[in-house]
Amino acid sequence: MTEASDTLFSKIIRREIPATIVYEDELAIAFRDINPQAPVHILVVPKKPIPKLADAVPEDHRILGHLLMTVKRVADQEGLENGYRVVINTGADGGQTVYHLHLHLLGGRAMGWPPG
């Protein structure tokens, strides 16, 4: 596996790979997914390169809370007053492909359930 500190998303954070960034602060960054699955599809990513949710430690609780508040902020910014879905794919069975923790913010259409 790629070093967590040198993930695709770390390269976006360091501006080595271009992305459409919609929000950034000292703990997190949010940018549009390159392969959107909904009219609004934004990834909210911690600057700390935690590989996946299962690797988070108790000291990460502030970052994890901040990520959810960032999703809320960005959803407001995007005008998703009708609702939205937040997804964290975790590990192989979760369908995770990039091993740098990220929250998918999906909106702009009604979502189905259950997910595939």
Q: Can you tell me which of 62, 97, 115, 116 binds ligand 5GP, judged by CB under 6 A?
A: 97
- Cβ atoms of 38 and 106 closer than 8 Å: yes
Amino acid letter at 90? Answer: T
- Binding of ligand 5GP by 84 (CB under 6 A): no
Instruction: List, as own/partner pairs, every contact residues 71-74 make where C-beta atoms lie below 8 angstroms and the sequence separation is at least 24, other chains included.
Output: 71/44, 71/103, 71/105, 73/23, 74/22, 74/23, 74/30, 74/42, 74/44, 74/105
Active site residue 61: no
Q: Can you tell me which of 44, 96, 101, 105 binds ligand 5GP, judged by CB under 6 A?
A: 96
- Binding of ligand 5GP by 65 (CB under 6 A): no
Q: What whole-number distance in Å separates Cα of residue 94 and Cα of residue 52? A: 10
Q: What whole-number distance in Å separates Cα of residue 47 and Cα of residue 116? A: 29
Question: At closest approach, how far in Å is the CB of 11 from ligand 5GP?
Answer: 8
Question: At closest approach, how far in Å is the CB of 34 from ligand 5GP?
Answer: 3
- Binding of ligand 5GP by 33 (CB under 6 A): yes
- Binding of ligand 5GP by 69 (CB under 6 A): no
* Residues labelled as active-site residues: 102
The residue ranges that bind ligand 5GP (CB under 6 A) are 8, 17, 19, 31-35, 43, 89, 95-98
